[in-house]
Structure 1
Amino acid sequence: MSTPLDAVAWPSGFCIHPHQTTLTAELLKAYQHVPVAHAGDVMGRHTGAVGLRAYHNDLGLTMCGTAMTVRTRPGDNLMVHVAMQRAQPGDIIVIDAGGDLSTAVIGGLMRTTAVARQLGGFVIDGALRDVAEWAEGMLPVYARGHVHRGPSKDGPGQINIPISCAGMTVMPGDLILGDADGVIAIPAGEAEAILAQCLAHADKEARIRAQNETGEVDRERFDSILRKKGCPL
């Protein structure tokens, strides 16, 4: 009789929780055309990753998938490899490496595996290496920085736990969006409601853009804000 994964007595500092897959294919498809900035706007504007750089060197390459989270010791990538082996096509590997830039936690050989297995990309609060390979595109990757120094494979580390990544709280199974502007995590349980808000926001921006294209100034839009602040006009 097999033992449930959650019941396994893992060594200290190690754990692998089951993969979270509550997001539907239809919902992920609908989010593929949602700009990160729109999602950020409807979620309060001051949310999402900060301090990350896109290394895939393709402004048109976007990221949309389910988060598989990894927390690893800075300078070690054992559990990143384990997560990649367990990830499903389209999954985004989100790595909390503590913001460390002294040692890379992913590199070009791992990119080759990820492309072959059709993973959705990487978001790393840490460093990568083999910059020229990542710049070939095909697979979106965001990292805090890069360095040539390679990692150990000793652990410890945890998979599919709540993590902090570049200023974001990321839960396993969250929806991850990435584009030329950056990366944002959308809570899985709120994704349907936030999608509706994003679509309404897109319509609003389209109306404003159309008016801006006429060259006419909507002075009242900002004067009304100033009056509410008590600013004399």
Structure 2
Amino acid sequence: MTASSESATWPSGFDVQPRQATLSPQLLDAFKSIPVAHAGDVMGRHTGAVGLKAYHHDLGLALCGTAITVRTRPGDNLMVHVAMQRAQPGDVIVIDGGGDLSTAVIGGLMRTTAVARQLGGFVLDGALRDVAEWAEGGLPVYARGHVHRGPSKDGPGQINVPISCAGMTVMPGDLILGDADGVIAIPANAAEAILALCQAHAQKEARIRAQNETGAVDRERFDLILRQKGCPL
């Protein structure tokens, strides 16, 4: 989007769009058992967030919910508060904070509110603070880093618009999946098809794992690749 079209759409720099929710509870429940790596594999292997760290420490705690997207000025969290007020239980707040690490955008008091309102978690391309509180668990949170310096609440910012977060495109209403390996955004309109692919991929990996546990070596598989690439054997 060009600068001119942005100013036409957001003349004040603020924009709050409605929550997008097309993912069924049954679909979300099914994805809770899907590893992020499997989703990434069936989506081309080179997608998802990079450079984020899990701060909740309980790496068995799954992140799985509908994306509420936020674009905010680095170091400002006014629109994050607004997004949290409009989010429903299970929703994941995904924040484009510009990757800024000079000032925290979310902190322990916001965590308390999110836990009480049963939100699904946070994904932040920026910094958080109150690390010890996030480490208590109970709420998944991924961020680029942390710092003690606190935010302003002035704006501007936008809610439920397309954003870029840690190298991945996130649309409002996308399915956000996170585990010990990282975070991935799954387009809402493709989620059912991707779930089926992930389930088939899991079965394939189970067969390979069973073979690997025997100690057998599938040398021909890799020799074939080498021959196709012109490597003499």
Q: Normalized against structure 1, the TM-score is what? A: 0.95
Cα displacement (A) at 1:228: 1.1
**1:196 corresponding residue in structure 2:** 196
Within-5 A mapping of 1:78-157: 78-157=78-157
Cα displacement (A) at 1:232: 1.2
**1:231 corresponding residue in structure 2:** 231
Query: What is the alpha-carbon distance in structure 1 between the residues aligned to residue 10 and residue 164 of structure 2?
Result: 22
**1:47 corresponding residue in structure 2:** 47
**1:181 corresponding residue in structure 2:** 181
User: Which amino acid in the other structure matches residue 142 of structure 1?
Assistant: Y
**1:6 corresponding residue in structure 2:** none
Percentage of pairs with the same residue: 86
Cα displacement (A) at 1:205: 0.3
Query: What is the alpha-carbon distance in structure 1 between the residues aligned to residue 124 and residue 10 of structure 2?
Result: 25
Cα displacement (A) at 1:11: 5.5
Cα displacement (A) at 1:224: 1.3
**1:4 corresponding residue in structure 2:** none
Post-superposition Cα deviations, 1:155-202, rounded to whole Å, max 9, x if no partner, equal 000000000000000000000000000000000011011111100100
Unaligned runs of 5+ in 2: 1-8
Q: Does the residue aligned with 2:50 lie in a helix, a strand or coil? A: coil
**2:219 corresponding residue in structure 1:** 219
Query: What is the alpha-carbon distance in structure 2 between the residues aligned to residue 137 and residue 227 of structure 1?
Result: 50
Query: What is the alpha-carbon distance in structure 2 between the residues aligned to residue 228 and residue 53 of structure 1?
Result: 39
> Greater CA deviation, 222-231 or 154-163?
222-231
Cα displacement (A) at 1:45: 0.4
Cα displacement (A) at 1:100: 0.2
Query: What is the alpha-carbon distance in structure 2 between the residues aligned to residue 33 and residue 103 of structure 1?
Result: 35
Aligned CA RMSD, in angstroms, stands at 0.9
Query: What is the alpha-carbon distance in structure 1 between the residues aligned to residue 65 and residue 59 of structure 2?
Result: 18
User: Which amino acid in the other structure matches residue 95 of structure 2?
Assistant: I
How many aligned positions are there?
225
Query: What is the alpha-carbon distance in structure 1 between the residues aligned to residue 200 and residue 220 of structure 2?
Result: 22
Query: What is the alpha-carbon distance in structure 2 between the residues aligned to residue 34 and residue 222 of structure 1?
Result: 28
Query: What is the alpha-carbon distance in structure 2 between the residues aligned to residue 59 and residue 104 of structure 1?
Result: 22
- Structure 1 position 28 matched with structure 2 position 39: no
Q: Normalized against structure 2, the TM-score is what? A: 0.95
Within-5 A mapping of 1:52-71: 52-71=52-71
Unaligned runs of 5+ in 1: 1-8
User: Which amino acid in the other structure matches residue 232 of structure 2?
Assistant: P
Query: What is the alpha-carbon distance in structure 2 between the residues aligned to residue 151 and residue 141 of structure 1?
Result: 18
Query: What is the alpha-carbon distance in structure 2 between the residues aligned to residue 11 and residue 62 of structure 1?
Result: 38
Structure 1 stretches of at least 4 aligned residues deviating more than 6 Å after TM superposition = none
